[in-house]
């Protein structure tokens, strides 16, 4: 972390709520949220300073977060937690071209034919020779349908 970034973070600690709101406007170029606590303002500003330094969130995560916000706007009590693919120890079996393929779910990956993979999609590609969604290939998720 650069000295400038460290200095900016240290400077936040001593700011009052009105000063944090002013700093919010400088950083985000928008008024701070009404009713936001001093702690929230401090944490959000510190996060943004670090994101500016380190590059911020991946576009895929930004899309997912926007999707979650949209869902919550429509259904305030919606469950947003992703369902786990399967518990460790679960055996996933798929027949492909008259051959049975068995995968074991591990704590941190998937075992297939004596090797450990970090994703089901890599295993599906190994089996088929083409790009597949691993969770779809092994029947854990439904394929996404294309919009008409």
Pair 17, 55 in one domain: yes
39-88 pLDDT, tens digit per residue, is: 999 999 999 989 888 888 888 788 888 888 888 889 888 877 666 678 89
Res 147 pLDDT > 60: no
- Closest by Cα among 95, 19, 53, 122 to 112: 122
Pair 68, 113 in one domain: no
Phi, psi of 48, deg, nearest 5: -65, -40
Residue 15 covered by a domain: yes
**For the chain, what is the domain count?**
2
Identify the pLDDT of residue 84: 65
Contacts of 24 (CB under 8 A, 6+ apart): 30, 31, 32, 41, 44, 45
CA angle 137, 133, 136 (to 5 degrees): 40
Query: Starting from the edge strand earliest in sequence, which strands make up the sheet with 99-106, in order?
Result: 91-96, 99-106, 109-112, 115-117
pLDDT confidence of 116, banded at 50, 70, 90? very high
Residue 82 covered by a domain: no
């Amino acid at each position: 972390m650069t000295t400038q970034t460290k200095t900016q973070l240290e400077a936040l600690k001593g700011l009052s709520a009105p000063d944090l709101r002013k700093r919010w406007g400088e950083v985000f170029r928008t008024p701070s949220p009404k009713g936001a606590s001093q702690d929230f303002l401090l944490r959000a500003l510190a996060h943004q300073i670090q994101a500016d330094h380190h590059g911020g969130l991946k576009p895929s995560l930004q899309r997912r977060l926007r999707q979650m916000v949209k869902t919550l706007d429509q259904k305030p009590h919606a469950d947003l937690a992703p369902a786990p693919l399967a518990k460790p120890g679960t055996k996933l079996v798929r027949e492909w071209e008259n051959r049975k393929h068995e995968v074991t779910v591990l704590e941190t990956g998937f075992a297939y034919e004596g090797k450990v993979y970090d994703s089901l999609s890599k295993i599906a590609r190994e089996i088929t020779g083409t790009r597949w969604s691993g969770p779809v290939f092994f029947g854990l998720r439904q394929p996404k349908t294309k919009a008409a």
